């Protein structure tokens, strides 16, 4: 038994193993292992969990796998990060409801693929078309518009357009949105707690500009994803994603959503 006294948690030398022969992603397995430690009170509320390096060594996984798992547990309220101190168990949780995990960055890390992001447009606009309805704002409210191209192994995969009401997070006009996810920036820089998302998937056909970015013929079929991201009952982000259908699968996981007590 190893007592990490500086963390106030105990790790045994008989920890559950990550099963690489399973089809289940490594970070999902790690989430389940760490979640069980919290819900079973092996890691009590207020205790500090091991560092990323310690978890990497303990479960023989990469740092990206550990970070992705911790991010999920932070998002669901199991853990809380304190800058300069570490990560702590935040509360007890019971499970109910469903949520869908589809963050591009996390999925690429989980698959072990090298991805990159190129910022194409970042500006402030008025909500034209149906943007006002999708965001639930009036036509006289300014909206931050961010357009990025996502590539995997240098091959263009996804065009992502994001709309956020300006008054909710002006910092998005200055923050690095190539290296950081807008989801994380909304929470860390603007104090917005994301609680749910609603979305649709359909077939679309590429315009001249879209086909040029994705290196496909004009009019080629593609997958169109639209999402409304909420903080409680307020829409804080509307996302439109166009993905080429002939490269890489788009992974969707359905998982029970935590309820706190």
Pair 105, 228 in one domain: yes
Pair 145, 251 in one domain: yes
Nearest to 15 by CA among 158, 140, 120, 29: 29
- pLDDT on residue 188: 83
Question: How far apart are alpha carbons 174 and 20 in whole angstroms?
Answer: 40
Beta pairing partners, 163: 145, 238
Assigned domain for 106 exists:
yes
Residues present in the chain in total: 261
Pair 87, 136 in one domain: no
Assigned domain for 14 exists:
yes
**Residues in contact with 63: Cβ distance below 8 Å, sequence separation at least 6, in sequence order:** 52, 53, 56
In the DSSP assignment, the letter for residue 247 is S
Last-in-domain residue among 91, 124, 143: 91
Beta pairing partners, 160: 148, 241
Whether the Cβ atoms of residue 168 and residue 192 lie closer than 8 Å to each other: yes
- CA 207 and chain centroid, separation: 28
Q: How many domains does the chain have?
A: 2
Beta pairing partners, 87: 81
**DSSP helix/strand/coil, 133:** helix
Pair 58, 141 in one domain: no
Pair 46, 136 in one domain: no
Pair 36, 127 in one domain: no
Dihedrals φ, ψ of 153, to 5°? 50, 40
Residue with tokens 């430690």: 37
* Domain interval for residue 59: 2-91
Last-in-domain residue among 40, 70, 91: 91
Whether the Cβ atoms of residue 153 and residue 114 lie closer than 8 Å to each other: yes
- pLDDT on residue 249: 57
**Residues in contact with 26: Cβ distance below 8 Å, sequence separation at least 6, in sequence order:** 18, 20, 61, 65, 110
- 10-residue mean pLDDT profile of the chain (261 residues): values are 47 64 77 88 90 92 89 84 87 48 50 79 94 93 96 88 96 92 86 84 94 94 91 91 75 50 44
pTM for this structure?
Answer: 0.61
In the DSSP assignment, the letter for residue 48 is B
Whether the Cβ atoms of residue 253 and residue 189 lie closer than 8 Å to each other: no
Assigned domain for 261 exists:
no
Starting at the earlier edge strand, list the strands of the sheet with 221-231. 115-125, 143-152, 155-165, 234-243, 221-231, 196-205
Question: How far apart are alpha carbons 165 and 169 in whole angstroms?
Answer: 7
- pLDDT on residue 193: 80
């Amino acid at each position: 038994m190893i007592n990490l006294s500086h963390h106030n948690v105990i790790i045994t030398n008989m920890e559950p193993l990550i099963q690489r022969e399973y089809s289940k992603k490594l970070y999902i397995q790690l989430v389940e292992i760490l979640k069980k430690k919290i819900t079973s009170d092996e890691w009590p509320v207020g205790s500090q969990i091991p560092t990323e390096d310690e978890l990497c060594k303990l479960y023989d996984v990469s740092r990206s796998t550990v970070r992705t798992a911790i991010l999920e547990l932070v998002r669901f309220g199991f853990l809380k990060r304190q800058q300069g101190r570490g990560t702590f168990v935040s509360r007890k949780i019971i499970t109910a409801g469903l949520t869908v995990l589809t963050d591009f960055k996390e999925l690429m890390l989980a698959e072990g693929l090298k991805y990159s992001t190129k910022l194409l447009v970042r500006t402030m606009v008025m909500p034209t078309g149906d943007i006002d309805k999708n965001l639930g704002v009036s036509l006289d409210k300014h909206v931050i518009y961010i357009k990025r191209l996502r590539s995997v192994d240098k091959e263009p995969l996804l065009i992502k357009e994001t709309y956020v009401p300006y008054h909710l997070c002006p910092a998005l006009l200055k923050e690095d949105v190539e290296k950081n996810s807008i989801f994380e920036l909304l929470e860390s820089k603007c104090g917005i707690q994301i609680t749910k998302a609603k979305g649709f998937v359909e077939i679309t056909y590429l315009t001249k500009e879209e086909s040029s970015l994705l290196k496909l013929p004009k009019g080629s079929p593609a997958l169109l994803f639209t999402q409304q991201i909420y903080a409680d009952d307020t829409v804080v982000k509307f996302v439109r994603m166009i993905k080429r259908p002939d490269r890489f699968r788009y992974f969707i996981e359905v998982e029970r959503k935590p309820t706190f007590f």
